[in-house]
A and B are shown apart, each in its own frame.
Chain A
Amino acid sequence: MSLTDKTIAELRDGFRAGDFSAREIAEEFNAAVDAADALNAYLVKTPELALEAAEAADKARGSDSLKPLSGIPLGMKDLFATEGVLTSAGSKMLGNFLPPYESTVSANLKAAGAGMLGKLNMDEFAMGSSNETCAHGPVISPWRREGSNAAITPGGSSGGSASAVSARIAPGATGTDTGGSIRQPAAFTGICGIKPTYGRCSRWGIVSFASSLDQAGPMARTVRDCAIMLEAMCGFDPKDSTSLDVEVPQWEAGLSSDLKGKKVGIPREYRIDGTPGEINALWDQGVEWLRDAGAEPVEISLPHSKYALPTYYIIAPAEASSNLARYDGVRYGLREVVEGGGLHDMYKATRAEGFGDEVKRRIMIGTYVLSAGFYDAYFTKAQKVRALIKQDFRKAFEQCDMILTPTAPSAAFALGEKSDDPIAMYLNDVFAVPASLAGLPAMSVPGGVNGDGLPLGLHLIGNELDEQTVLNAGLAIEERAPSIELPKKWW
């Protein structure tokens, strides 16, 4: 078994036991990364940083200075600012941006001993569900439909992360999730991904999309690996006013698939017309697995679920239209000067050239819903509905400890299949978005494959700060679901 086939926990334990060195791990992954250009998952490769961390890990082996992630090289979504390493957010706008600072989350991982394999491709400014909005070309999933060579999307926006982990060119990767961007790609590629409670991971140094929704989280092959990474990523950060000043639990140590005494809520409103039968069948199967693990299923109601997506598509673009105003060609990034033009001509030309279509579309929507005369009708209304959605969850968690739904309404689709219908694309996140609006922890775990042999995910939503229950239920599913064989190398 090649080292790249191992999980983070296996690599960590094997390295500690002296079965192999950190250097060997880093070298194998670096080589695998180099051999996987066809996936377009890495925008920047940093083999030297992976080796540097490996060297430190090998030196520390057997000593007190060994850290939780010593010996583990990881992939970093390009949304995290990495000091001196190109950080483009998948955009032409930041095509030359070398941050003089390191994001808190990536710094936390570094401090925990992890190395960095490189920066992972993503939808531009994290806006997309298929990784087709990236300025550097789409990411290709290592998965293919049975009997087809058509390129499949790994999902988005953390598509590079998903593709890299499922192709075993990173044992784990960071993702960010604003409205499903960790969970949907995890589901599409047969891996795990968790978005913690809003405020668990510092947003400092993560290129903002929608501030009230953005949250970082890990993507990895197993629930345990997610727990390991999440522990290292989370933590109070005084530089982020929305960071939670609470202790980080020992999630890995707390893992248990015994769900006796727990209630799992099944929201009746998530039975949506037109959802493929295989999705609903998997969902029913998931309920049985959790029952088998000791949990008691209860029907719950989240009456405003249907409005979550439109609410999201007002709030997220509104915040984004303001967050992305800083890309003006003055202090960093692209600048387009108009011959004989002034400052405002430069702004317009720079932003026309630097942003792709989806980003422009969302800035336009966001600008419109905040503009004079429309603010109350759209933005304030959406904030009110968001309050109702939050309230729905509050009530639901009086009756249950976790909620189970499908992660996405379909398996991964082929590149180009949905790219000319924005709303069809947005519907990918129909199950993922409510938890984002409510700031709740939520995770996707692989449940099985569909008729085409493509992976499907199950989605667990937990109460505020209760990542442990989410992880434990994820573990229970992981233990019972048929093990998914990761795609054979064709790249």
Chain B
Amino acid sequence: MSDYVIKGQTGDWEVVIGLEIHAQVTSNAKLFSGAATAFGAEPNTQVSLVDAAMPGMLPVPNRECIRQAVRTGMAIDAQINRFSRFDRKNYFYADLPQGYQISQLYHPIVGEGEITVLVDEKDENSAKTIGVERIHLEQDAGKLMHDQHPTMSYVDLNRCGVALMEIVSKPDMRSPAEAGAYIRKLRSILRYVGSCDGNMEEGSMRADVNVSVRRPGEEFGTRTETKNVNSVRFVQQVIEYEAKRQVAAIEAGEEVVQETRLFNPDKGVTKPLRSKEDAHDYRYFPDPDLLPVELEDEFLAECRASLPELPDAKRKRYEDLGISVYNAAVLTAEVENARWFDRLLDAGADAVAASNWANSVLPGLLNAKEVAFDDPRNTPEVSAEILAMVDKGEISKGQAKEVFEYYLDSGDSPAKIVEDKGLKQTSDTGAIEAKVDEVLAANADKVQQYKDGKQALFGFFVGQTMKAMQGKANPQVVNQILRAKLDE
């Protein structure tokens, strides 16, 4: 379906992409210890004796981390494995105190699922379903700092043992755009579920990018894995770079080596991480300190019951309310926006008008006043009140903007602003009719021209009437009366 191709010297190539996303589970404490997970603490202050792998220390799993992985699995319609187990992945590194990472290789907690993305969010026909192979839980490693000392590296174990979900996709993506759409959609789902804050700058989501190339329709080629890529843009750069590099290599008669690579964002290139001879042999085996994880019905039922309305369902509901495909997609992408918008609807706003307001009007107004969307002043109730006045014809759409700006400045209620500023427009037909009569009488020549066919003059009469009403007339009523009088 994707028309993304790499033009090689020998013809077109297709790129095959799989993503392993490491998402930090939202929890107070670590996966196997009672130490805190908060970001940005002083080095080694969020470290328990378990995290530091002191002799004789033992892991005890955090229920919330298990729960969040299960809820995430449910959100992507995945198979939830009632029986799973933790395994040890053995290797030596200074950020890994135990000498092994507790992970899940043989029996992950979540099996196959899927995520449907809109590659182009304006186009419903661009939907594509990407398979998810599995989700497993594992420990994060600590942090190494290489630039603090000429010959030493410094080790901070604060992150060590923080719970990660590794979400492994199938090799179903065929373009950087699809990969980007997948990450954005996954991030959106995680944030709806509340299992990960999706904050890529703080490292809450990192991607391992698996890339290979092939002639369209042929067998998969050899893939490379570029580790720890921390933005959508970088992921896309990696794919583009790797696809071109691999095509060039194959066309030059070389072989693509299955290897781990690192991305250099400054140069936009990937480099091999270690040589093949030193390839790791992780010696996975079931962690003998931990019994198998067996999930009970009650636990699973609670996980399911606690799931919120998810982005796809919400988008569908919005579209059913008459909201455009694009607006529905934009409104549901970020969970905060969607929740805000739901409150706007709950406050009685008309769905279509509200979607235009929320998507096209409000962002500009907030921007101009340098007010953040999550500013406490920006309540959906205030917007609902203003939209209701528009709906009733009490103020015009233009005045609605004005009212909102005054509101941000003063904090006064929209009703008070309209009152104080005398913005309230009238729908009093008697008053408007009187002014219309005055305007038509004063411009008899133009009335004649209009009647002779110069229809464009209609706007002139509207303008004059509005002016006479000092802008406070409901334009719809003005239109109605003018039409009646001019076309009679």
Contact = CB atoms under 8 A, between A and B. Distances in A.
Interface stretch (A151-159, A164-172, A317-325): A317-325
A99 B60 contact: no
Interface stretch (B49-57, B417-425, B467-475): B49-57
B443 to A, nearest CB: 89
Interface in B84-117: 88, 90, 92-94, 97-100
B406 interface: no
A322 B283 contact: yes
A395 interface: no
Interface stretch (B241-249, B287-295, B327-335, B353-361): B287-295
Contacts of B285: 318, 322, 370, 375, 379
B405 to A, nearest CB: 58
B56 A326 contact: no
Contact of B55 (A208, A370, A371): A208
A242 B56 contact: no
A210 to B, nearest CB: 7
A89 B54 CA distance: 13
A322 B90 contact: yes
Interface in B122-154: 153
Contacts of A238: 60
Most chain B CB within a 10 A radius of its CB, from A87, A210, A321? A321
A93 to B, nearest CB: 10
B56 A371 contact: no
Contacts of A207: 55-56
Nearest to B56: A205
B155 interface: yes
Interface residues on B, range: 20 to 34
Interface in B16-68: 49, 52-61
Given A204-B58, A331-B52, A325 B90 contact: yes
Give the dominant DSSP class at A's interface.
loop
Contacts of B49: 100-101
Contacts of B99: 322, 324-326, 328
Contacts of B297: none
B3 interface: no
A325 B59 CA distance: 16
A328 B92 contact: yes
A40 interface: no
A375 B88 CA distance: 13
Contacts of B94: 328, 330, 343
Interface in A376-399: 379
B57 A370 contact: no
A189 to B, nearest CB: 26
Given A206-B56, A330-B155, A371-B281, A325 B288 contact: no
A42 B94 CA distance: 34
A285 interface: no
Contacts of B58: 203-204, 239-242
A280 interface: no
A355 interface: no
Given A326-B97, A370-B283, A371-B283, A203 B92 contact: no
Nearest to A326: B53
A103 B56 contact: yes
Given A239-B58, A325-B99, A347 B92 contact: yes
B56 A97 contact: no
A328 B95 CA distance: 12
Contacts of B52: 331
A257 interface: no
A207 B58 CA distance: 10
A204 B57 contact: yes
A344 B92 contact: yes
Contact of B288 (A211, A330, A344): A211
A325 B92 contact: yes
A141 interface: no
Contact of B153 (A203, A343, A367): A343
Nearest to B47: A331
Nearest to A330: B94
A332 interface: yes
Contacts of A411: none
Contacts of A203: 56, 58
Interface in A349-382: 367, 370-372, 375, 379
A344 to B, nearest CB: 7
Given A208-B55, A212-B288, A331-B97, A241 B90 contact: no
A89 B283 contact: no
A81 B288 CA distance: 20
Contact of A210 (B153, B155, B284, B288): B288
Contacts of A325: 90, 92, 98-100
A119 to B, nearest CB: 14
Most chain B CB within a 10 A radius of its CB, from A203, A205, A324, A330? A330
Contacts of A205: 56-57
B55 A81 contact: yes
A94 interface: yes
Interface in B288-316: 288-291
Given A322-B283, A370-B90, A242 B54 contact: no
Most chain A CB within a 10 A radius of its CB, from B88, B90, B100, B288? B288
Contacts of A240: 58, 60
B55 A241 contact: no
Most chain B CB within a 10 A radius of its CB, from A94, A241, A318, A347? A241
A176 B288 CA distance: 17
A208 B98 CA distance: 12
26 contacts: A204-B56, A206-B56, A207-B56, A208-B56, A211-B288, A239-B60, A240-B60, A241-B59, A242-B58, A242-B290, A318-B285, A319-B288, A322-B99, A325-B90, A325-B92, A326-B98, A326-B99, A328-B94, A330-B94, A331-B97, A343-B93, A343-B94, A370-B90, A371-B281, A375-B283, A375-B284
Given A203-B58, A379-B285, 12 more contacts: A239-B60, A241-B58, A241-B59, A241-B60, A241-B289, A321-B283, A322-B99, A326-B55, A328-B99, A370-B284, A371-B283, A375-B283
Q: Report, nearest first, the 9 A-B pairs whose CB atoms are least far apart.
A: A325-B99, A370-B283, A211-B288, A212-B288, A326-B53, A207-B55, A205-B56, A372-B281, A211-B289
